[in-house]
Amino acid sequence: MHRILIIGGSDAGISAALRAREIDPAAEVTIALADDFPNFSICGLPYFISGETPDWRTLAHRTEFPGLEILRGHTATSIDPTAKTVTLKAAATNAERLLSYDRLIVATGATPIRPELPGAMLQGVFLLHTMADSFAVQEHLTDHSVKTAVIVGAGYIGLEMADALTKRGIKVTLLSRTATVLPTVDPSFGQLVSECLQRHGVTVLTSTSASRIESTVAGPNTLSVVDSGGGRHAADLVLLAVGVRPVSDLAHAAGAQRGVHGALVVTRQMRTNLPDVFAAGDCVETYHRLLNKSVYISLGTIAHKQGRVAGENAVGGARTFAGAFGTQSLKVFDLAIARTGLLDAEARDAGLDPLTIEAEMFDHKAYIPGAKRMHVRLTAERGRGRLLGAQIVGDSRSEISKRVDVVAAALYQGACVEDLNDMDLSYTPPFSSPWDPLQMAAQAWTREG
């Protein structure tokens, strides 16, 4: 019988636990959870704040965990890989306990970066990464007359929260240190996202960072954000959304090796360099299939897959993590943005010779009412035509996310651009065209490549 101890109960931790029990129903699986919210959707927090998901309890992926022992409010403070024990501290009592394991899975996730910014700890300044963070933001919005907000950071959380707060009638100013918002896509697409934000009333300041946050004389809950250009922005709420870093200190202190961005180094079987210690999720490096090396990507989809691999192998399996392309999608107001694989600049940095084309077309036959224009940027290796990636921006009803998934599937199979044209994709006038927009983009690439 296997004794499996898992540190962390979010995407990777729960996936590992469920897979371990599925493979070996006799396994004793214990999850040490620092908070009280196992398997809650962190990705859903902006929708809870916006009011679109009014009951936070619905963010739980599941509420029943048969066969699993979950120790809520227990923080792991040390790992002894020689004795195969983990020391836990209970939040309610500060009492310590020692748990033994046969196999350990570290799934400690990531933590939001709080920039070293004067005023970053003032009342009314928030991060958003945990259920507790969301409750704090919600309480502030409910208890105070919040009319203005400043968001520092224009990545996923920053953009989703600009949408969420605007839906609550709050005037939002968004500060982006990069030249365009959403730097995970090319600048031309970042500009489309910026225009969407502005159409919905968000003030967008690019190439602008926050230099300090101050309390104003108007009261403790009224703030002023001073930007890098000297501009001042009054705010009743400030959200810091400048990224995350892997929570790897615990395992590293026990001897686990760290790599890219301080994430734990793992094999594709999700093993660390410590005996019988696995790791998965946002605390570890991720194998990138196109680059053939490890990178750091913080995505729930990847965490679930890595957790499943770790759980299976912890009970004696031999599963290998297939790797990732960084496939992701985002909704901002009525716009959908998705990408997979490499951007042109990323491909060049990897020593490849990419060609990227941008094409614009309707999402379905124009004679059907409601046809919307969508934009595709397709990247492939010049000459060879090997597919390297795609970015798509369009109306949120235009199946943007699923279309990028077609490219992700093609990347998985090592396809070339011309292979997209050979795919037997569905067609009916309200949904597409005889040549899907992806195939039209592929034909445009072929003409230039």
The separation between CA 87 and the C-alpha centre of its own chain, rounded to angstroms, equals 30
Residues 122-145: pLDDT tens digits?
A: 999 999 999 999 999 999 999 998
Mean pLDDT of 335-339: 98
Q: Is the pLDDT of residue 449 over 80?
A: no
Binned at pLDDT 50, 70 and 90, residue 64 comes out as: confident
Q: Kindly state whether residues 172 and 216 are assigned to the same domain.
A: yes
Binned at pLDDT 50, 70 and 90, residue 65 comes out as: confident
User: Do the domain assignments include residue 234?
Assistant: yes
Binned at pLDDT 50, 70 and 90, residue 63 comes out as: confident
CB atoms within 10 A of CB 212: 12
Q: Which amino acid is at 28?
A: E
Residue 209 · residue 227 · CB < 8 Å = yes
Q: Kindly state whether residues 68 and 51 are assigned to the same domain.
A: yes
Residue 160, C-beta contacts closer than 8 angstroms, at least 6 positions apart? 46, 330, 331, 332
Q: Is the dihedral of CA 191, 194, 199, 204 positive or negative?
A: negative
User: Do the domain assignments include residue 201?
Assistant: yes
Phi, psi (degrees; rounded to nearest 5) at 140:
-65, -45
User: Do the domain assignments include residue 338?
Assistant: yes
Q: Kindly state whether residues 150 and 196 are assigned to the same domain.
A: yes
pTM confidence score: 0.95
Q: Which amino acid is at 225?
A: V
How high is the pLDDT of residue 320? 98
Q: Which of 290, 314, 338 is the last residue of a domain?
A: 314
CA distances from 313 to 31, 207, 345, 360 (A): 17, 46, 36, 45
Written as six digits, the tokens of 396 are 């949120």
Residues 256-275: pLDDT tens digits?
A: 999 999 999 999 999 999 99
Mean pLDDT of 164-178: 97
Q: Kindly state whether residues 83 and 129 are assigned to the same domain.
A: no
Q: Kindly state whether residues 218 and 278 are assigned to the same domain.
A: no
Q: Is the dihedral of CA 343, 349, 350, 351 positive or negative?
A: positive
Q: Kindly state whether residues 8 and 101 are assigned to the same domain.
A: yes
Name which of 70-84, 173-187, 219-233, 239-253 the model is least confident about: 219-233
Burial of 332 (0-12, 13-18, 19+ CB in 10 A): buried
Q: Is the dihedral of CA 297, 186, 166, 241 positive or negative?
A: positive
User: Do the domain assignments include residue 28?
Assistant: yes
CA-wise closest residue to 316 among 279, 355, 276, 351: 276
Q: Which of 283, 314, 345 is the last residue of a domain?
A: 314
Residue 115, C-beta contacts closer than 8 angstroms, at least 6 positions apart? 152, 210, 240, 242
Query: What CATH code is carried by the domain that includes residue 373?
Result: 3.50.50.60
Q: Is the pLDDT of residue 88 over 80?
A: yes
How high is the pLDDT of residue 221? 54
CA-wise closest residue to 102 among 234, 237, 275: 275
Mean pLDDT of the chain: 96
Binned at pLDDT 50, 70 and 90, residue 332 comes out as: very high
Mean pLDDT of 425-429: 96
Mean pLDDT of 364-377: 96
Q: Which amino acid is at 141?
A: L
User: Do the domain assignments include residue 323?
Assistant: no
Q: Kindly state whether residues 268 and 236 are assigned to the same domain.
A: no
∠ CA 202-203-207, nearest 5°, is 130
How high is the pLDDT of residue 62? 83
Domain tally, the chain:
3
Binned at pLDDT 50, 70 and 90, residue 1 comes out as: confident
Residues 173-227: pLDDT tens digits?
A: 999 999 999 999 999 999 999 999 999 999 999 999 999 999 986 655 589 999 9
Alpha helices, H only, 168-218: 187-199
Q: Kindly state whether residues 287 and 230 are assigned to the same domain.
A: no
User: Do the domain assignments include residue 320?
Assistant: no
Residues 21-34: pLDDT tens digits?
A: 999 999 999 999 99
CA distance 251 to 257: 8
How many CA atoms does the CB half-sphere of 382 hold within 13 Å? Answer: 11
Q: Is the pLDDT of residue 13 over 80?
A: yes
Residue 291, C-beta contacts closer than 8 angstroms, at least 6 positions apart? 342, 350
How high is the pLDDT of residue 219? 57
How high is the pLDDT of residue 200? 98
User: Do the domain assignments include residue 433?
Assistant: yes
Rg (CA), the chain: 23
Residue 192: domain span: 125-242
Q: Kindly state whether residues 275 and 360 are assigned to the same domain.
A: no
Q: Which of 242, 261, 294 is the last residue of a domain?
A: 242
Q: Report the first-to-last Cα separation within the chain, whole angstroms.
A: 58
Q: Kindly state whether residues 147 and 212 are assigned to the same domain.
A: yes
306 backbone φψ class: left, alpha, beta (φ>0; ψ -120 to 50): alpha
Q: Kindly state whether residues 231 and 251 are assigned to the same domain.
A: no
User: Do the domain assignments include residue 18?
Assistant: yes
Written as six digits, the tokens of 160 are 């989703």
Q: Kindly state whether residues 54 and 153 are assigned to the same domain.
A: no
